Amino acid sequence: MTIRTRPLPTIGQEVLDLDLEAGIDDATARSLVDLWRDAGVVLFRGMGTSPEALLELSRCLGELEPHPIESIRMPDYPELILLTNKGGLRGPVYAYDGVPTYGRIPWHTDLAFSDTPNAGALLNMVEKASVGGRTAWLDTEKAYAALDDDLKQRIEGLEVRFEFRTDLKDMKYCNPGGSRVGESGTNFPDYPPHARPLVWKHPVTGRTIMNVSPLNLRNIVGMDEAESDALLQRLIDAVIQPQFIYEHAWEEGDVILWDNYRMMHSAMGHPVDVIRVVHRTTLRGTAQVGRILAQ
């Protein structure tokens, strides 16, 4: 099967003609893996909402990893997780300008606080939000390439400290400023602080990428706090720019695949009385990065 694609408006590619009903042969699977690694984020429209179809597409890209929180796994499909507010909230609620909002997660990479992050993930929109609910991706490879030489030199060889966050008020950078108004009751694993190189090489492509997840970012290891804050804020301001970001307005049946080593992503959230249902698979990572820090 030949895969035709076209560029998304800023970063990434859209696949135009993948037919899951025809099956995915080995050559097509290899082409999809190559596209994923080259583009960073890949959109598939009209894929439907079948869990089996999402699993078929996901498995041709790599080994799947069950989510560490068992309560959000789908009972009949342990490799799928269900992200929804239908039937009750499964995450915290924050108020922005007085409007309670569900599912808002600022810029991050998954498991930035772990020594073995997942390689990627796929989201499948089952029931789109009638208001809000967009998701955005940011390409740290392109953002790094565009940095001025002085900033590249300043951040080379530095380590950054990441800490697991369950409350947005604890964010030090890019804090969206909402107030927490509801509890989810979810029990999260206990992750110790973690140090990662700020600049590193993609474990598959060898291209230069960055670890700059604002949700979990605390400081530069071994640097004076004021100097660390100033340098990281300068870097974040340079990275979070429209030309490196693709923001997706979902339609039901859309699937988006991304490279978690390279891309950051952000969920915009939606009002709590607006229903949204998403299925997700996670691609297991094998690359070791960083080290655990003493608490």
Q: Express each pLDDT in 101-124 by its tens digit.
A: 999 999 999 999 888 999 999 999
What tens digit of pLDDT does each residue of 30-87 get? 999 999 999 999 999 999 999 999 999 999 999 999 877 777 888 889 999 999 999 8
Tokens of 102: 């569900």
* Cα(168)–Cα(104) distance, integer angstroms: 10
What residue type is assigned to position 33 of the chain? Answer: V
Domain membership of residue 228 (yes or no) is yes
C-alpha angle 273-279-281 in degrees, rounded to nearest 5: 145
Domain membership of residue 295 (yes or no) is no
Q: In the chain, pLDDT over 70 holds for what percent of residues?
A: 97
Instruction: Please provide the average confidence, as pLDDT, over all residues in the chain.
Output: 94
In this prediction, residue 129 has a pLDDT band, given cuts at 50, 70 and 90, of very high
Q: In the chain, pLDDT over 90 holds for what percent of residues?
A: 81
pLDDT of residue 166: 82
Structural domain count of the chain: 1
Evaluate the CA torsion angle 44, 50, 56, 61 in order and state its sign. Answer: positive
Domain membership of residue 290 (yes or no) is no
Domain membership of residue 265 (yes or no) is yes
Place of tokens 């989201």: 123
Q: In what order do the strands lie in the sheet with 194-197?
A: 217-220, 159-162, 194-197, 291-292
pLDDT of residue 270: 96
Tokens of 134: 């967009």
Instruction: Please report, for the domain that includes residue 142, its CATH number.
Output: 3.60.130.10
pLDDT of residue 102: 94
- Is the pLDDT at 90 greater than 90, yes or no? no
Q: Which residue range(s) make up the domain with 177?
A: 5-285
pLDDT of residue 256: 98
* Cα(139)–Cα(146) distance, integer angstroms: 11
- Is the pLDDT at 217 greater than 90, yes or no? yes
In this prediction, residue 226 has a pLDDT band, given cuts at 50, 70 and 90, of very high
Domain membership of residue 192 (yes or no) is yes
Q: State whether residue 36 is helix, strand or coil.
A: helix
pLDDT of residue 108: 96
Neighbours of 20 (CB within 10 A): 17
- Is the pLDDT at 187 greater than 70, yes or no? no
Q: Cβ(216)–Cβ(231) under 8 Å?
A: no
pLDDT of residue 185: 57
- Is the pLDDT at 133 greater than 70, yes or no? yes
Q: Cβ(109)–Cβ(289) under 8 Å?
A: no
Helices (H) and strands (E) in the chain, counts: 5, 20
Average the pLDDT over 89-94 and give the result. 86
Listed residue (139, 162, 163, 143) closest to 152, CA to CA: 143
Q: State whether residue 111 is helix, strand or coil.
A: coil
Domain membership of residue 291 (yes or no) is no
* Cα(140)–Cα(149) distance, integer angstroms: 16
Domain membership of residue 109 (yes or no) is yes
**Residues written for the chain:** 295
In this prediction, residue 186 has a pLDDT band, given cuts at 50, 70 and 90, of low
Average the pLDDT over 200-227 and give the result. 97
pLDDT of residue 75: 86
pLDDT of residue 91: 80
Strands 245-248 and 255-259: unpaired
What's the number of CA atoms in the CB half-sphere (13 Å) around residue 74? 17
In this prediction, residue 183 has a pLDDT band, given cuts at 50, 70 and 90, of low
Beta bridge partners of 266: 136
What tens digit of pLDDT does each residue of 140-153 get? 999 999 999 999 99
